[in-house]
Amino acid sequence: MSEQPLKVILTRKLPAEVEQRLSDLFDVTAYNDDKPMPQPALAEAVQRCDVLACTLGDRIDEDLLTLAGPRLKLIANFGAGVDHIDVQAASARGITVTNTPSVLAEDAADMVMALIMAVPRRLVEGVEALRDGRFTGWSPTWMLGHRVRGKKLGIIGLGRVGQAVARRARAFGLSVHYHNRNRINTHIENELEATYWDSLDQMLSRVDIVSVNCPQTPATYHLLSRRRLELLHKDAYIVNISRGDIIDEEALADMIAEKRLGGAGLDVFSKEPAVNAQLMKAPNVVLLPHMASATVESRIDMGDRMLINIKMFADGHKPPDRIIPEML
């Protein structure tokens, strides 16, 4: 690689210590706004950098990549999901794409558990009732939710986050079921006491709580379609911290409104930052603003992971977290 430090363009404001560490190593231009970089600025950036350090708000599609200059060789994503990047198109142009998996898995799993507890136990409704002055003292029949212990949890995608969820779920007395593209190895399956379902349909018709933990890819778009949502029993709950489009959000909102599901805990939405109006109104739905990895620790670790990928690449090695298009 060249003697000159690589030209890295950051598309978004990152934690100060991450920006500092990147600037110590590379020739960094930071877009110092806490909003996604506008498309014209992105188009300009891909023409003049070696590395585009981006986030999930950026749309890095084929049209943008056709504008890329010959210098652009690495798209280093700050985050695990790469559904906003056309990885195939990047690969066809010889551009490597990396992400930051693992480092956010534990915090994301905590948020899944928070939602698994919050929805059946009506946590947000309780807080609102108290704040609105509707708490008139303990009552044997008021604010009753449903017990979590003993329920069957169906995890879709038993990767890093899914496994971290399974470990926590065991401690809460849930039995763990999972559906995955490939069955995981027996050693991990035994450790998690997890039951594998080759058929997602069959798993859905038997579980009480579903946690969506697979990445969004063309194959998982609307994986939870209306037909599949209808396989769930009417008191089942759905938790999603992965990507909104894995669920047919309109179908989910209709079914919640029609009381054909017990409730949902959602950290992600189809048209973020817009949120489906029906879901917004539903009392048995807990909605969060895409914050499952939002801890200081995770965000710094994500920055460090991104830096490691860029540094390995700059030193002429294969970055550890490169995305293999065929694996998507």
Contact residues for ligand DGY, defined by CB under 6 A: 56, 79-81, 104, 293
CB of 243 to ligand DGY, least distance (A): 7
**Which two structure tokens, joined as six digits, stand for 33?**
């706004």
Residue 272 a catalytic site member = yes
d(CA 231, CA 229): 5
Report CA Rg, the chain. 21
98-137 CB burial, b ≥16 within 10 A, e <16:
bbbbbbbbbbbbebbbbbbebbbbbbbbbeeeeeeeeeee
Residue 290 a catalytic site member = yes
CB of 80 to ligand DGY, least distance (A): 4
Residue 243 a catalytic site member = yes
Cβ(250)–Cβ(276) below 8 Å: yes
Cβ(119)–Cβ(264) below 8 Å: yes
Catalytic residue (choose from 59, 206, 222, 290): 290
232 vs 302 by CB, closer to ligand DGY: 302
Catalytic residue (choose from 243, 249, 299, 305): 243
104 vs 209 by CB, closer to ligand DGY: 104
56 vs 255 by CB, closer to ligand DGY: 56
Torsion angles phi and psi, residue 317, rounded to 5:
-105, 170
**Which two structure tokens, joined as six digits, stand for 298?**
């995770």
Catalytic residue (choose from 93, 167, 272, 322): 272
CB of 46 to ligand DGY, least distance (A): 21
111 vs 236 by CB, closer to ligand DGY: 111
Task: Specify the amino acid at residue 289.
Answer: P
List active site positions.
243, 272, 290
